A and B are shown apart, each in its own frame.
Chain A
Amino acid sequence: MNSSPMLVQLPADIRARVQSPSTTLDQCFENRTSNRLNVLLEGNITILSTPTALRDNLELSASRQNSHVVVKDLSRTGVGIYYHEQLFPLEKIQVELQHRRLTAIVVRCRYLGPKCFEVGAKVISVQSNL
């Protein structure tokens, strides 16, 4: 995992529960079911594509960058993350979790506090053993 910055400001109660990356990640993936597993793991995010009408908004692009995120939950079909910026439905993101890479489409985003958004995305592919 590269050393991109952690920009999200998590509420204290959530921050205290974030686990170190060495936690049993494999187990999370192997046990991925349609049930959601709450994980709170650190990962990396890349925004792969943004739809036309959003792309030209300079304000938006200037403050967005690849960064560390906290992965909140995982299931067979979805991933939840905490990110420092608002993401919009249909944006395509890539989340790296140790040696796995998830590609997902944003479906919802909720404001939790300054520099903290809870983002839900639909997983469209998972690459393992990077």
Chain B
Amino acid sequence: MSDHRGFVPISMATLLPSAMLGIDVFVRSAPGLPSAKLFASDEPVCESKLRDYCNAGVTSAFIDVEDRHKYQSYLQRNWHLLLEDSQTPLENRLEIMGDVVRGVIDKQLQGGDIQSLIKASNQVAETAVKLISTNEVALSQLCAVLHHDYGTFTHSANVSFYAVMLAKQLGYDQVEQHEVAVGALLHDVGKMEIDSGIINKPGPLNLQEMNAMKRHPIIGFEKLVHREDVSFGQLMMTYQHHERVDGSGYPCAIPGDLIHPYGRLCAIVDVFEALTSQRPYRKPMEIEKAMDFMTSKRGTDFDADMLDVWVELTNKEEVNYEQ
């Protein structure tokens, strides 16, 4: 285990005593404990062994990269148990939530079935709202545990968590927070129809590709507009998240007062997520730098009042995880 190539880290907090994972779980050495296979694929998670490693300060285990999908489905079977367990530190619960939501949204987006996507989005949004709304989560905490790789699924999941945080800070009630969380998960749904060569292009897009890409709010709108289970606000998050308050956005170039509040909210968290995540051609920006950049667009790209609230959030102190 000296070289972890071929292995991916998982959080020890996701291992439920007595659970059958069906995959080998490894650990690195800890003082007084051997470095080796912690649990074999054909045995359940042993509570006392798990406790020993946790007590020794081991927070991560490793699984074979090939077993990632099995681990994802284990998380998806057990996420309620893991997230509702108050013994699980908040930091770990946020991390689990990120993993689970990513997994669920990834699967649904790849399947291309909008009905299942909306259903799954509603389920995971409920969890996100419960976790973020009823705990004192600092933005930097959340940012630290989320994955920042380049992908529409990761992006949508992260945007959704940030959207709930901003909605909460703006004083939206839990029903509205849920609405915003689902809307954020769906905001880039139009990208399902854009050529994957354009979506995954490792570099800036040329004019033609850019024009194709710019159609995704309209495509997303058309996918959702006939549905009874999508609200007007959610629809506007899909349609208007690239509009800018000075009228320089797309697809309609409407000014701020015509952009739905959810659309303005989505624009802020969408750009924040894009700046702070990995892109094939650039490194993620630190929160502070991302905020400097966004503040320079206050009142031109972004709604001034909403951005001020977002800045407030980024300046909020982290709270003690152990509470």
Contacts and interface: CB of A to CB of B under 8 A. Distances in A.
Contact of B252 (A51, A56, A57, A109): A109
A90 B218 CA distance: 10
Interface in A109-130: 109-111, 117
A108 B251 contact: yes
A86 B224 CA distance: 18
Given A86-B258, A89-B221, A53 B227 contact: yes
Nearest to B233: A57
Contact of A52 (B225, B254, B258): B225
Given A54-B232, A86-B254, A108 B225 contact: no
B interface bracket (residues with beta carbon within 8 Å of A)? 20 to 34
A29 interface: no
A51 B226 contact: yes
A108 B254 contact: no
Contacts of A90: 222, 225-226
B9 interface: no
Contact of B226 (A52, A56, A110): A52
A108 B232 CA distance: 18
B89 interface: no
A35 B14 CA distance: 62
B22 interface: no
B218 A53 contact: no
Contacts of A52: 225-228
Given A54-B235, A109-B252, A111-B252, A89 B258 contact: no
A8 to B, nearest CB: 15
A56 B233 CA distance: 11
A11 to B, nearest CB: 14
A53 B252 contact: no
A51 B218 CA distance: 14
A81 B226 CA distance: 24
Interface string B216-257: 001001101111101110010001000000010001111100
A51 B251 CA distance: 19
A49 to B, nearest CB: 11
A53 B253 contact: no
Interface in A29-51: 51
A108 B221 CA distance: 11
B222 A111 contact: no
Contact of B218 (A54, A89, A117): A89
Contacts of B226: 51-53, 90
Contacts of B230: 53
Contacts of B228: 52-53
Given A53-B226, A86-B258, A90-B225, A108 B218 contact: yes
B225 A111 contact: no
Contacts of B252: 86, 109-111, 117
Interface string A63-100: 00000000000000000000000101110000000000
Contacts of A110: 251-253
A81 B232 CA distance: 25
Candidate in B228, B232, B253, B254 with the most chain A CB atoms within 10 angstroms: B232
Contacts of A86: 252, 254, 258
Closest 8 CB pairs of A and B: A51-B225, A111-B254, A57-B232, A53-B235, A111-B253, A53-B225, A51-B226, A53-B230
Interface of A: 51-54, 56-57, 86, 88-90, 108-111, 117
Given A53-B232, A110-B251, A111-B258, 15 more contacts: A52-B225, A52-B226, A52-B227, A53-B224, A53-B225, A53-B227, A53-B235, A54-B232, A54-B235, A57-B232, A86-B252, A86-B254, A86-B258, A90-B226, A110-B253
8 contacts: A52-B226, A53-B231, A86-B254, A89-B218, A89-B225, A110-B253, A111-B254, A117-B252
